C-alpha cells in the first residue's frame, strides 16, 4: 500500500474559519520545526488559487484539490491522498455527512469544529461501527466547542488524581471572561439546530438528555444540573447565567467520561454557566442575559422575525470578526472540582484570541496536526483505534503541550 501524498488536507479552506486555519498552518509549518505535508481543498479552484497566492511564499508550493461537499467521487479522491482531513464546511448537518461517510470507508482520520449535537449523534449512530472496522478516527468539536471545556476537565482530573488518587465527581465550568464575535457560519449552524429541534419532538428529547452522545450501555444515571436561568453560585460567590455552548460542551465531557472507562466516576456531574458578577448588578446582568437568549431563540423560530434578524442583525455566511477583533479577543474559563469526600480544587483555561475564530483556528490546526503527526509512526496509526472520539479521549498530554506552546492556551492550577 502506497503512502498518501499528504499528511493533512484542509477541506473548506476558503471559508471564513478555513482561511484563518490555513494562514495559521502556513505560519506554523512553513519554517523551522515540525514538517507537515499539507494541501488545501474546496469547491472553487479560482478561490483556492486566490488563497494560495494570498499566503505569499508559504503558499507557493501548496497543493490544491478541487472537491465539492456533495460530490462523492471528488471526496473519495481527496481522502485517498491524505492521512487526515480537517473540515470547516458547515453547517455540518447540511453538508458534512458525505465526507464523514467516505473518511470512514477509506479509513481516513478526520476532525472538525462542529458544535451540532444532533448531527454528531446521527454520525455516531450511522458510522461508528464502520469506523471501528476501517480504522478511521473521527474527532468532532475541535474548536472552542469543545476543546477548552473537554481538555479543561481532563486537566482538572489529572490534578485530582496526582494529588489525591481519586477523581473530582462534581465539576463546574464558569466563564469568567469571553470577548469575541460570531461568524455567519456559526449563526447558520445555530439556526439550523433550533429549527430541526422545533420540527422533531424526538430530537428535542435527545438534545436535553445530558448523556445523548454517550455510547449505548454507558450506565450513567446521575441527575445533571442544567443552568437555565439566573442563579447564585456559592462555589464562585457570584451570580451566573446560562452559557449557550453548554448544550454541546456538557455532552462532549460526559462522552469523554464514558469513553475513558468512567475515569471521572459513575456519578460524575458537570455543568457550565457564565459568571455575571456579584450583588444586585450581577443578578440584573444574569437576568438580562437570560431574557436576551430567550428572545434570540424565539426570534429564530418566528419566521418574520428570523428574516429581519438575518437581513439586518446577524452576520451572513462568509462574514465574521475582523483580524483586529480576533486579536483583541480572549477568554478565561474557571473550573471547580469536588471529590466524593469533599476535597476541592480549581483550575483555569485561558486563550489569547477571540474564542470562536482566532483561537478556534489554532486549536483546530493543532488537533489536525496531532492526528497527523503524534498518532502515526512509520506510516502506521498509533494510539486510539478507529471510532468516534472526543478531544480529551483521542489526544493526550502532547495535545495540551501543543495548545500551550503553539495555540495561546494556558492550563493552570489555582
Strand 64-66 to 137-139 pairing = unpaired
Task: Give the pLDDT confidence score for residue 402 in this predicted structure.
Answer: 97
pLDDT over 80 at 312, yes or no: no
Calculated CA dihedral for residues 261, 263, 408, 370, nearest 10 degrees: -20
Query: What would the pLDDT profile of 247-293 be if each residue is shown by its tens digit?
Result: 999 999 999 999 999 999 999 999 999 999 999 999 999 999 999 88
pLDDT in tens, 215-251: 999 999 999 999 999 999 999 999 999 998 999 999 9
pLDDT tops 60 at residue 386: yes
Distance separating alpha carbons of residues 281 and 153, to the nearest angstrom: 30
Question: What pairing do the DSSP bridges indicate for beta strands 82-87 and 64-66?
Answer: unpaired
Tell me the per-residue pLDDT of 77-112, one tens digit each, with 9 for 90 and over: 999 999 999 999 988 999 999 999 999 999 999 999
CB-CB neighbours of 401 under 10 Å: 14
The average pLDDT across 171-177 equals 97
Is the confidence at residue 33, as pLDDT, over 90? no
**Ranges of H-type helices in 302-345:** 303-308, 323-328
Q: What is the pLDDT of residue 326?
A: 79
Q: Work out the mean pLDDT of the chain and round it to a whole number.
A: 92
pLDDT of 183 > 70? The answer is no
| Torsion on CA atoms 116, 118, 123, 129, rounded to nearest 10 | 130
Could you tell me what percent of the chain has a pLDDT over 70? Answer: 95
pLDDT for 43 beyond 90? yes
CATH number of 6-144+357-407: 3.40.50.720
Amino acid at each position: 500500500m502506497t503512502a498518501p501524498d499528504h499528511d493533512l488536507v484542509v477541506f473548506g479552506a476558503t471559508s471564513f474559519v478555513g482561511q484563518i486555519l490555513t494562514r495559521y498552518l502556513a505560519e506554523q509549518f512553513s519554517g523551522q520545526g515540525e514538517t507537515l505535508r499539507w494541501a488545501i481543498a474546496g469547491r472553487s479552484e479560482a478561490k483556492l488559487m486566490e488563497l494560495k497566492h494570498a499566503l505569499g511564499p508559504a503558499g507557493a508550493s501548496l497543493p490544491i484539490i478541487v472537491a465539492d461537499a456533495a460530490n462523492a467521487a471528488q471526496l473519495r479522491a481527496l481522502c485517498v491522498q491524505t492521512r487526515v482531513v480537517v473540515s470547516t464546511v458547515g453547517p455540518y448537518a447540511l453538508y458534512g455527512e458525505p465526507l464523514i461517510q467516505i473518511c470512514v470507508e477509506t479509513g481516513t482520520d478526520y476532525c472538525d469544529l462542529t458544535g451540532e449535537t444532533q448531527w454528531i449523534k446521527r454520525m455516531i449512530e450511522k458510522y461508528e461501527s464502520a469506523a471501528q472496522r476501517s480504522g478511521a478516527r473521527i474527532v468532532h468539536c475541535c474548536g472552542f466547542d469543545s476543546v477548552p471545556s473537554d481538555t479543561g476537565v481532563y486537566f482538572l482530573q489529572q490534578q485530582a488524581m496526582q494529588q489525591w488518587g481519586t477523581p473530582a465527581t462534581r465539576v463546574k465550568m464558569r466563564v469568567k471572561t469571553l470577548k469575541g464575535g460570531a461568524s455567519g457560519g456559526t449563526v447558520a449552524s445555530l439556526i439550523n439546530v433550533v429549527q430541526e429541534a422545533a420540527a422533531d419532538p424526538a430530537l428535542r428529547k435527545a438534545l436535553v438528555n445530558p448523556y445523548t452522545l454517550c455510547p449505548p450501555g454507558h450506565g450513567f444515571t446521575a441527575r445533571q444540573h442544567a443552568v437555565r436561568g439566573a442563579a447564585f453560585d456559592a462555589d464562585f460567590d457570584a451570580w451566573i447565567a446560562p452559557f449557550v455552548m453548554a448544550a454541546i460542551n456538557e455532552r462532549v465531557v460526559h462522552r469523554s467520561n464514558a469513553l475513558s472507562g468512567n475515569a471521572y466516576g459513575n456519578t460524575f456531574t458537570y455543568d457550565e454557566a457564565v459568571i455575571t458578577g456579584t450583588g444586585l448588578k450581577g443578578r440584573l446582568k444574569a437576568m438580562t442575559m437570560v431574557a436576551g437568549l430567550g428572545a434570540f431563540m424565539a426570534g429564530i423560530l418566528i419566521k418574520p422575525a428570523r428574516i429581519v434578524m438575518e437581513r439586518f442583525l446577524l452576520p451572513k455566511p462568509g462574514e465574521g470578526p475582523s483580524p483586529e477583533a480576533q486579536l483583541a479577543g480572549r477568554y478565561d474559563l474557571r473550573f471547580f472540582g469536588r471529590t466524593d469526600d469533599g476535597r476541592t480544587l480549581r483550575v483555569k483555561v485561558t486563550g489569547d484570541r477571540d474564542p470562536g475564530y482566532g483561537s478556534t483556528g489554532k486549536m483546530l490546526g493543532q488537533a489536525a496536526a496531532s492526528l497527523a503527526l503524534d498518532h502515526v509512526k512509520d506510516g502506521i496509526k498509533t494510539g486510539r483505534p478507529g471510532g468516534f472520539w472526543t478531544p480529551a479521549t483521542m489526544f493526550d498530554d502532547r495535545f495540551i503541550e501543543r495548545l500551550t506552546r503553539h495555540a495561546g492556551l494556558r492550563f493552570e492550577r489555582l
